Amino acid sequence: MKKTLLATAIAGAMVVSASASAATVYNQDGTKLDIYGNIQIAYKNVNDAAGDSQDAIADNGTTFGFAAEHAIASDLTGYLKLEFDDIKADEMATDIDNDDAGDTAYVGLKGSFGDVRLGSYDQLIDDWIQDPVTNNEYFDVSDSTSAHGSGADQQTDKVTYTSPSFGGLQFALGTQYKGDDDSADSGVDSGDSNASFFGGAKYTAGAFSLAAVYDNLDNVNYVDPNGDVDSIGDQYGITAQYTMNATRFALKVERFESDADDGQPQNANGNFKEDTNFYGVSVRHGYGMGDVYGAYQYVDVGGSDFSDTIDEAASGDYPNDSGESYNEVIVGATYNISSAMYTWAEVAMLDRTNDQGDGFATGITYLF
């Protein structure tokens, strides 16, 4: 699970604001401190690379966090967020010393000018492009971040400016800075300081919204055949959403454009991927006691870029693949036991060799 409902409510606003489930432990003299979190336990049964089902009871993203803000002036507020989401609630008795629990940590300033944030947090393309299609409990469709395999590193060492809304139009610009002493990607160190670029725009009109994001991935590196370190490529996408009563529809077109030579490993893990296009659609309906939802995505690995795809479609020669293609389907439902507790179930069919990744998962989440 990428985010719980609670974490989504806080992060999605692009400011630090606690949800109704968070506990305010201090609110005096313009300073406010909230504590929030959840415990998530899941049962999963998922096929491995050989097609054998592997099941377990496991933690599904248990989270504990702090959110604070302080009124600096009438139109200027400072804030912070510190979140831990690798607690592994199912192994607390044997995994007390967990050095990798840190997830989100940032400080920022917000006001009528917009929002400036510095630290570690989700990528803009994750929040604006990928999450609207699937931000489920256990299974999500794949995306341009999973294609290059370095999403966790993209969350670190960033600064982002997000504008206020100008008649429904909002934009965001940011960079990830890696210095001489940083390892840019999974043990690959370019040896030089470098700043990447990412940016996007979002337009909202009533129940409709449209967002576009670009990230040059300039700190996600691979080793080329000559042993030189270079950028892995670019990622970009467009997502449209429309809400009608209790039903939300989302449509995504996304691309990872690889600069790596075919056959060469991306990093020390050998996680190489080709150019990949993603065409996804999803629907989520609130039925009163929870949600039912589903998503379909066509994944075109080795596919041409969007402009070529349009030309090919016009000529009747579509799609033009040099690699594999997959049809991913995910369906699920949640049921609210109370205002602070819900249960869920999901099924995924990802169309991989030996049905790898296909499976079923169910679980329970308690929010506070």
Q: Residue 230: what pLDDT?
A: 77
Q: What are the angstrom distances between the C-alpha of 233 and each of 2, 238, 245?
A: 24, 18, 40
Q: Tell me the average pLDDT across 286-301.
A: 96
Average pLDDT over every residue of 304-332: 64
- Tokens 């576009």 label which residue? 212
* Most confident stretch, 84-93, 182-191, 247-256: 247-256
Which pLDDT does position 7 carry in this prediction?
A: 36
Task: Go through the domains of the chain in sequence order and give each one's CATH number.
Answer: 122-336 (2.40.160.10)
Q: Residue 363: beta bridge partners?
A: 42, 344
Q: 363, 177 in Cβ contact below 8 A? A: no
Q: Which has more confidence, 22 or 334?
A: 334
pLDDT band at 274 (very low <50, low <70, confident <90, very high): confident
Whether the pLDDT of residue 208 is over 80: the answer is: yes
pLDDT at 261: 57
pLDDT score for 307:
55
Residues with Cβ within 8 Å of residue 39, at least 6 apart in sequence? 62, 89, 365, 366
Q: Provide the β-strand partners of residue 222.
A: 230
* CA atoms of 169 and 211, how far apart (whole Å): 10
With bands split at pLDDT 50, 70 and 90, how would you rate the model's confidence at 231? confident
**Secondary structure (H, E, C), 33-96:** EEEEEEEEEEEEEEECCCCCEEEEEEECCCEEEEEEEEEEECCEEEEEEEEECCCCHHHCCCCC
Give the span between the Cα atoms of 203 and 208, in whole angstroms.
Answer: 8
Mean pLDDT, range 134-155, rounded to an integer:
88
Q: What share of residues in the chain are helix, strand, coil (percent, to 5)?
A: 10, 50, 40
- Work out the mean pLDDT of the chain and round it to a whole number: 83
In whole angstroms, what is the distance from residue 350 CA to residue 348 CA?
A: 6
Per-residue pLDDT tens for 30-82? 899 999 999 999 999 999 989 999 999 999 999 999 999 999 999 999 999 99
How many residues belong to the chain?
Answer: 368
Structure tokens at 71: 């009124």
On the question of pLDDT at 331 being above 90, the answer is: yes
The predicted pLDDT at position 186 comes to: 45
Q: Poorest-confidence range of 15-29, 189-203, 345-359?
A: 15-29
Unique residue bearing structure tokens 């607390």 = 92
Res. 91 pLDDT band, cuts 50 70 90: low
> pLDDT over 70 for what percent of the chain?
76
